């Protein structure tokens, strides 16, 4: 792995909690990458995530598009988001990071945080916006900001468009893999870990495509029903942290331990919660044929090698969950308007093309899809740098 351009550790003077910012790379002087908050978050984790963002940006490079990829970055705060002190820590972190957010780091929600919370904390920290660093790159800043604000106000059946775009992309990745393998949607079973932003939207889009969601896990445990769960009822019963109120469970739904989602009898497994969920010691319990990484870094490399050896395909995070980030920029730069159907159609088209490209490359090179995605990135980064300049 190349050394990041910038890597820093911040210590909160009030609580002693630590926060991290890693800027892996700049393109036209700017980088993109969300901010996560979780107990135990480390600089290593944030470094890996920042590198992943560089890849996600490069993978969506379309020479014809208005959106020109940025560099990759990531922020992380080592604190439980439910800690009563969490919000004040977030504000102090953003205040300390203000020079970076103002000039070169565009950020948004990630694990443990919602965009509303990031926006509120950013305002309190004296920032114009969490993505203000990109404004100088816009042709018509006023129109672009209005378009993005309007897009954020769009809701589809109780969930904001900003929370749906990423899962729409994850679901389309699943459908593309099924299509290539000639597997029908109906009767294909899915288990999802995490029912927050990514997990919820993925579950909704897959259920609406005709797949059966038979297990979902949140921080309190797994909910399973081999006959299929009522996804919309579970989504509607979530609190702000993505925890489902068990009062809505139906008679056939069962409550199982937290890690039961992993060994559910399914074809598709979607880790959509924490990093490092699947390691060498628990991968043996997986019977799924595909693991689709809605979360960032949920499968450890040693586990992936063991899974590949027994024919389980991992569709990598850098491709699969890249839809959220791309949607922000497609909207802001004007490739799409503030419209859900247009956003979903564009996301589906782009994600299907990307997954096809990756799987074809993996087949041609005889590698894993992840290695293929990395190879595509390695081809594109110099092209982007040649066109927009080297910043590292
Ligand atoms: N939000 C985004 O825009 C975005 C975009 C791309 C990738 N991701 C990645 O997707 C993952 C999830 O992010 P999110 O924003 O959806 O998070 P979130 O905070 O909205 O939701 C997290 C969900 O995971 C559950 N969870 C947390 N710890 C768990 C555990 N140990 N076991 C089982 N469930 C657990 C929570 O109960 C909740 O349902 C992260 O890896 C994140 O980096 C997020």
Q: What is the pLDDT of residues 218-267, one digit of tens each?
A: 999 999 999 999 999 999 999 999 999 999 999 999 999 999 999 999 99
Q: Are 299 and 255 in contact (CB under 8 A)?
A: no
Q: What is the pTM of this model?
A: 0.95
Q: What is the pLDDT of residues 320-360, one digit of tens each?
A: 999 999 999 999 999 999 999 999 999 999 999 999 999 99
> Does 219 sit in the ligand 1 pocket, CB within 6 Å?
yes
Scan for tokens 């957010």, then name that residue: 101
Q: What is the pLDDT of residues 76-116, one digit of tens each?
A: 999 999 999 999 999 999 999 999 999 999 999 999 999 99
Whether the predicted pLDDT of 392 surpasses 80: no
Q: What is the token pair recorded at 116? A: 């509303």
Q: What is the pLDDT of residues 161-204, one digit of tens each?
A: 999 999 999 999 999 999 999 999 999 999 999 999 999 999 99
Q: Among the atoms of ligand 1, which is closest to the Cα of residue 242?
A: 39
> Does 234 sit in the ligand 1 pocket, CB within 6 Å?
no
Q: What single-letter DSSP state applies at residue 247?
A: G
Model confidence at 389, pLDDT cuts 50, 70, 90, reads: confident
Ligand 1 pocket check: which of 198, 234, 300 to mutate, most ligand atoms within 8 Å of Cβ?
198
- How far is residue 351's CA from residue 341's CA, in Å, rounded to a whole number? 15
Ligand 1 pocket check: which of 53, 74, 194, 347 to mutate, most ligand atoms within 8 Å of Cβ?
194
**Helix 141-153 with 161-181: angle, nearest 10 deg:** 80
For residue 63, the tally of other CB atoms under 10 A from its CB is: 8
Q: Are 354 and 69 in contact (CB under 8 A)?
A: no
Q: What is the pLDDT of residues 10-41, one digit of tens each?
A: 999 999 999 999 999 999 999 999 999 999 99
- Which residue's CA is the closest to the ligand 1 atom numbered 6? 321
Provide the pLDDT for residue 388. Answer: 87
316-326 in b/e burial notation, b at 16+ Cβ within 10 A?
A: bbbbbbbbbbb
Whether the predicted pLDDT of 1 surpasses 70: no
> Does 369 sit in the ligand 1 pocket, CB within 6 Å?
no
- How far is residue 351's CA from residue 167's CA, in Å, rounded to a whole number? 11
- Compute, in angstroms, the gap from residue 391 CA to the centroid of ligand 1: 31
User: Which residues in 24-138 belong to E strands, given as ranges?
Assistant: 31-32, 35-37, 71-77, 105-106
Whether the predicted pLDDT of 315 surpasses 80: yes
Provide the pLDDT for residue 82. Answer: 95
Q: What is the pLDDT of residues 114-150, one digit of tens each?
A: 999 999 999 999 999 999 999 999 999 999 999 999 9
Provide the pLDDT for residue 178. Answer: 98
Ligand 1 pocket check: which of 46, 73, 75, 196 to mutate, most ligand atoms within 8 Å of Cβ?
196
Q: What is the pLDDT of residues 193-221, one digit of tens each?
A: 999 999 999 999 999 999 999 999 999 99
Whether the predicted pLDDT of 2 surpasses 90: no
- Residue closest to 194 by CA, chosen among 243, 141, 134: 243
């Amino acid at each position: 792995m190349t050394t990041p351009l910038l890597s820093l550790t911040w210590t909160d003077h009030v609580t002693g909690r630590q926060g991290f910012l890693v800027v892996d790379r700049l393109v036209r002087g700017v980088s993109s990458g969300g901010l996560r908050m979780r107990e135990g978050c480390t600089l290593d984790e944030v470094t890996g995530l920042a590198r992943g963002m560089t890849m996600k940006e490069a993978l969506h490079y379309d020479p014809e598009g208005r959106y020109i990829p940025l560099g990759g970055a990531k922020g992380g705060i080592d604190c439980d988001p439910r800690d009563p002190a969490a919000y004040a820590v977030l504000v102090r972190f953003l205040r300390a990071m203000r020079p970076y957010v103002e000039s070169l780091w565009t950020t948004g929600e990630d694990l443990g945080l919602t965009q509303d919370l990031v926006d509120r904390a950013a305002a309190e920290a004296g920032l114009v916006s969490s993505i203000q660093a990109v404004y100088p790159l816009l042709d018509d800043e006023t129109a672009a900001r209005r378009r993005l604000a309007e897009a954020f106000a769009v809701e589809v059946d109780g969930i904001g468009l900003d929370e749906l775009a990423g899962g729409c992309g994850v679901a389309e990745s699943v459908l593309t893999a099924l299509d290539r393998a000639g597997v029908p949607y109906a009767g294909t079973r899915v288990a999802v870990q995490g029912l927050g932003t990514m997990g919820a939207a993925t579950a909704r889009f897959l259920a609406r495509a005709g797949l059966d969601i038979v297990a979902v896990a949140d921080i309190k445990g797994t909910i399973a029903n081999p006959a299929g769960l009522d996804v919309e009822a579970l989504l509607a019963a979530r609190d702000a942290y993505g925890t489902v109120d068990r009062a809505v469970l139906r008679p056939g739904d069962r409550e199982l331990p937290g890690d039961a989602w992993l060994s559910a009898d399914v074809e598709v497994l979607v880790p959509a919660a924490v990093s490092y969920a699947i390691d060498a010691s628990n991968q043996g319990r997986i019977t799924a044929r595909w693991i689709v990484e809605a979360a960032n870094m949920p499968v450890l490399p040693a586990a992936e090698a063991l899974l590949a050896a027994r024919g389980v395909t991992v569709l990598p995070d850098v491709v699969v969950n890249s839809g959220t980030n791309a949607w922000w920029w497609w909207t802001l730069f004007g490739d799409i308007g503030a419209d859900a159907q247009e956003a979903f159609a564009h996301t589906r088209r782009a994600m299907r093309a990307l997954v096809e490209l990756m799987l074809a490359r993996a087949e041609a090179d005889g590698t894993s899809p992840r290695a293929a995605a990395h190879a595509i990135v390695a081809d594109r980064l110099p092209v982007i740098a040649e066109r927009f300049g080297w910043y590292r």
